[in-house]
Amino acid sequence: MTNSIEMNKRPRRRNDVVFPIVNTCILILLMFVTLYPVINTLAYSFNDGTDALKGGISLWPRVFSLQSYRSILQDPAVYQAAWISASKTVLITLLNLFWTGMLAYALARREYVLRKLITTMLVLTMYINAGLIPNYLLITKTLHLSKSYWVYIIPTMFSCFNMIVIRTYIVGLPDALVESARIDGAGDIRVYWQIIFPLCTPVLATVALFVAVGSWNSWFDTHLYCASKKNLLTLQYLLKMKLATTQASANAGKATAEALANSNSTKTTPVTIRCAITVISTIPILVVYPFLQKYFVTGMALGSVKG
């Protein structure tokens, strides 16, 4: 955490020398174990599709080819879809943080009279599900949200799990912080935004990551409600479709060796397309991640705020 322990000049124990070495070794080993599937996926994505069918590629492509990426990225629809995905992800993340944070604060206040009722009702939603059809009818027939951009936003503005995570964090904060503010005469809304919200940065960053990743990776809402609208397709949906078409067309053609050699599309196969899709859809998350990670790895020095 902080290096305060270092400043304490006490004799070093053997433990202090051995542990960091062992720890580093364990973590490096773990990194290797978890990095392997990632590198393997990368290697496949840069491999020739037909060749990749044979399997056996581990850390480096056997026959290098950009064909899988080309076949995905040459489609102009991908860029429109990426824009839809990115914009809805940002919007949903902001809305979620806005509502969920406030709600978590309200439900963390022990004196709030509606706390039990609201918390119980919210928690139950994690375990009960009405089923697909009633939900579908609510969105389409009652709310008329289908075939519109808002179907991506409105039904996903809130998640109970994230609310609980934030609430737990807020409960863990020293009570004195709130109390001192209350004595100053600040209302709950001000206490939340001025004191609690900044203190919650690590957990809000965590929740932002959960929400953003969930939204970025979702394709089912497009499949159910917007698949007939070319301009509203999301990136994940389009990539899923790409994979599905590669799978479907894989066995369709009666081709000769010469036709195969001349044709571009037969060089993409489900094996490589799937990997290229994974890489393409993960890169934006990788780019954004360090900005969020900064908050929840380092955290805030609580002591300094208190002091």
Partner 1 sequence: MRKLLSILLVLAMMLALVPAALADGDLEPITLTVFRGDPGDQPYPDNKIYKKIEEEFGVTFEFEFLAGDLDEKLTLMTQDLDDLPDLFDGGNSAEKLIDAGALINLLDYVNPEDTPNLWAHIEPQKNRIITKDEVTGEDVMYIIPNYGLPEGPQIALSVGGPAFFIQKQVLAWGGYPQITTLDEYFDLIEKFLEANPTNADGTPYIGFDILCEDWRRFCLINPVQHLMGHPNDGEVLIDVNSDDYPTETFINRAYAKPYYKKLNEEFQKGIISADTFVMNYDQYIAQLSTGIVLGMFDQAWDFGNATNALLTDKKYENTYVALGLVYDEDDVAGLLPEGWTIEEHYLNGSLPNLDRGFGISVSCECPERIIAMWERMMDEDWQLLFNWGVEGEDYSIVDGRLIMTEEQYANTQDIEWQRHNKARAFFESSPKRQGWILEGDLAGNCWEPGNQNEIVFGLMNDYDKEFLAAYGYSKFADFVNPPIELAPYGEAWQIDKAPIEKDYNDFLNIQDSQLPGVIMANPDDFDAKWDAFVEAINPSCEVYSNFMHEEVLKLVDAYYGK
Partner 2 sequence: MTEYTQGVKLRTGKRKGFFRQLAGQWQLALMSVPMFLYVLLFNYVPMWGWINAFKDYGNRKLVARGITPYNGLANFKWLFSRPDFYQAIRNTLAMSVINLVFGTVSAILLAILLNEVRNRGFKRTVQTVTYLPHFLSMVIVVAMAQNIFATNGPINALLTGVGLAKTPIFWLGEGKYFWWLVGVINVWKEVGWGTIIYISAMTSIDPSLYEAAAIDGAGRFHRIMHVTLPGIRSTFIILLIMNIGHLMEAGFEIQYLLGNGLVASYSRTIDIFVLEYGIQQMDMGVATAAGMFKSVVAIILLVSANFIAKRLGEDTLV
Annotate 232-297 with DSSP letters as a single string.
G--HHHHHHHHHHHHHHHHTT----HHHHHH-SGGG--HHHHHHHHHHHHHHHHHHHHHHHHIIII
CA angle 105/2/34 to nearest 5° reads 85
Establish if 51 lies at the interface with partner 1 (CB under 8 A).
yes
In the complex, minimum distance from the CB of residue 259 to partner 1, in angstroms, rounded to a whole number: 4
Establish if 130 lies at the interface with partner 1 (CB under 8 A).
no
Residue from 47, 68, 71, 96 touching partner 1 (CB under 8 A): that is 71
Q: Dihedral sign, CA of 171, 172, 175, 181?
A: negative
In the complex, minimum distance from the CB of residue 127 to partner 1, in angstroms, rounded to a whole number: 22
The backbone torsions φ and ψ at residue 64, rounded to the nearest 5 degrees and listed phi first, read -65, 135
Binders of partner 1 among 185-244, rule CB under 8 A?
Answer: 219-220, 222-224, 227-228, 230, 237, 240-242, 244
In the complex with partner 1, the residue whose CB is nearer, 56 or 303, is 56
Which region, judged by CB under 8 A, interacts with partner 1, from 7-15, 72-80, 110-118, 150-158?
72-80
Token output for 63: 């026959």
What distance in Å separates the CA atoms of residue 43 and residue 47, rounded to the nearest whole number?
A: 6
Q: What is the DSSP letter of 140?
A: I
Establish if 132 lies at the interface with partner 1 (CB under 8 A).
yes
Establish if 53 lies at the interface with partner 1 (CB under 8 A).
yes
Site string for partner 1, 242-261 (x = CB under 8 A): x-xx-xxxxxxxxxxxxxxx
Does residue 120 contact residue 179 with C-beta atoms inside 8 Å? no
Establish if 40 lies at the interface with partner 1 (CB under 8 A).
no
Site string for partner 1, 139-178 (x = CB under 8 A): -xx-------------------------------------
Q: Dihedral sign, CA of 195, 197, 201, 202?
A: positive
Question: What is the contact surface with partner 1 in residues (CB under 8 A)?
Answer: 50-51, 53-56, 71, 74-75, 77, 132-133, 136-137, 140-141, 219-220, 222-224, 227-228, 230, 237, 240-242, 244-245, 247-266, 269-271
